[in-house]
A = this chain, B = another copy of it.
């Protein structure tokens, strides 16, 4: 459980930055080299590499050296834990609305009896 929580910390924190989301959005379409990824971002390479490291530490991307080029790719099912957590909370919230709905319906029935 602690491991799962720590993973969610890293994953959501990694997602909380527009450059990192743009990198993920690009990699969802297919693998890319570091220079290809860095191209659209007006940023010094060390800063950009810092973003890639955060994504890799969060398990959202992986990278591999091919000769002198480092190729990055999105991890399969990268977003599953985050999506699962969000759906779970939304389901609890919707359940609460359903219960409120039932309560009001019953109240109206009692009143009209």
Partner-B contacts on A (CB < 8 A) = 5, 8-18, 21, 24-25, 28-30, 74, 78-79, 82-83, 85-87, 89-90, 92-93, 96
Contacts and interface: CB of A to CB of B under 8 A. Distances in A.
A90 B79 contact: yes
Contacts of A10: 16
B21 A96 contact: no
B83 A83 contact: yes
A8 B90 CA distance: 17
A72 to B, nearest CB: 14
Given A15-B15, A83-B83, 9 more contacts: A5-B21, A11-B16, A12-B16, A14-B16, A15-B82, A24-B89, A28-B96, A74-B93, A83-B86
